[in-house]
């Protein structure tokens, strides 16, 4: 099915470990974004990309890296996990940024 | 800066009750406005949108009208069902170089039979 695919769905990390959250879309969307969702905070933008090879920081970028080598993939890397990064992470994509985004089903990350 | 404010939840209603979830925004110019819905354990789904003043977005019995004069985009439904229980997010996007979504904090709706 066309859409945004995120893996893994659940992950537990120890403080200081690194990992990559995967995001792939098959809709040929240029724009992709990563959000984190925390209770009472809504969704906050971490990083975004307006096309292959182009990325930029959002509202809460510290502790995260991204790259966009292809149109389809937009992985999010946690460099050294901290308990404050415990959250649900969503990847989203859109063809036109004035239009609606398609969201993945999320990755629930716990850092202990 | 750009921001979205929506009513605090949770909101608990009986089946067939009327629903209103208030949303107001702060932005320069003419942003696009959205309502997203998140069912338990799932990602966000676009519910409806409006791209210019006085536009009405509608889907699945939900409606919202883009009111430039009051900077509002309130979500309404005439008769809610148990299956409408979810978290609802209001969001804006200015398109172009400022096209990232800016979300409100979400309103949890519970509908009782």
Distance from CA of A94 to the nearest CA of B (A): 10
Percent of chain A at pLDDT above 70? 96
B7 touches chain A (CB under 8 A): no
Let me know: does B111 contact B44? Beta carbons within 8 Å: no
Does A43 lie at the interface with B, CB-CB under 8 angstroms? yes
Tell whether the model's pLDDT for residue A96 goes beyond 80: no
Average pLDDT over residues A13-34: 96
Residues of A in contact with B27 (CB under 8 A): none
Contact at CB, A33 and B100, closer than 8 angstroms: yes
How far apart, in Å, do the first and last CA atoms of chain A sit? 34
Spatial separation of the C-alpha atoms in residues B81 and B14, rounded to whole Å: 8
Q: How far apart are CA A38 and CA B63, in angstroms?
A: 27
The whole-angstrom distance between residue A93's C-alpha and the CA centroid of its chain comes to 10
Q: Do A43 and B103 touch (CB under 8 A)?
A: yes
Closest Cα in chain A to B32: A98
Per residue in B13-39, pLDDT tens?
Answer: 999 999 999 999 999 888 999 999 999
Residue with tokens 């909101």: B11
Taking the Cβ of residue A31 and every Cβ of chain B, the question of whether any pair is shorter than 8 Å is answered with: yes
Q: Does A54 touch chain B (CB under 8 A)?
A: no
Say what the pLDDT of residue B97 is. 58
Q: Do A103 and B49 touch (CB under 8 A)?
A: no
B51 vs A33, A41, A98: nearest CB: A98
Q: Is B35:B88 a contact under the CB 8 Å cutoff?
A: yes
B59-109 tens-digit pLDDT? 999 999 999 999 999 999 999 999 999 999 999 987 665 578 899 999 999
The C-alpha atoms of residue A64 and residue A85 are separated, in whole angstroms, by: 10
């Amino acid at each position: 099915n066309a859409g945004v695919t995120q893996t893994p769905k659940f992950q537990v990390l120890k403080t200081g470990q690194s990992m990559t959250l995967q995001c792939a879309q098959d809709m040929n969307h240029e724009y992709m974004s990563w959000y984190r969702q925390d209770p009472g905070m809504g969704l906050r933008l971490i990083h975004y990309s307006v096309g292959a090879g182009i990325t930029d920081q959002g509202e809460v970028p510290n502790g995260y890296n991204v790259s966009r080598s292809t149109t389809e993939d937009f992985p999010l890397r946690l460099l050294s996990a901290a308990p404050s990064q415990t959250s649900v992470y969503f990847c989203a994509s859109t063809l036109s940024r004035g239009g609606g985004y398609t969201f993945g089903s999320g990755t629930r990350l716990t850092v202990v | 800066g750009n921001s979205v404010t929506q009513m605090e939840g949770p909101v608990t209603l009986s089946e067939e009750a009327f629903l209103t979830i208030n949303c107001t925004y702060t932005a320069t110019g003419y942003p696009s406005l959205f309502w997203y819905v998140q069912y338990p354990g799932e990602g966000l789904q676009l519910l409806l949108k409006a791209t210019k003043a006085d536009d009405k977005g509608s889907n699945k019995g939900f409606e919202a009208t883009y009111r430039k004069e009051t900077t509002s985009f309130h979500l309404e439904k005439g008769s809610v069902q148990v299956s409408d229980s979810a978290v609802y997010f209001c969001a804006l996007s200015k398109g172009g170089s400022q096209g990232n979504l800016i979300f409100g904090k979400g309103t949890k709706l519970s509908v009782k039979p």
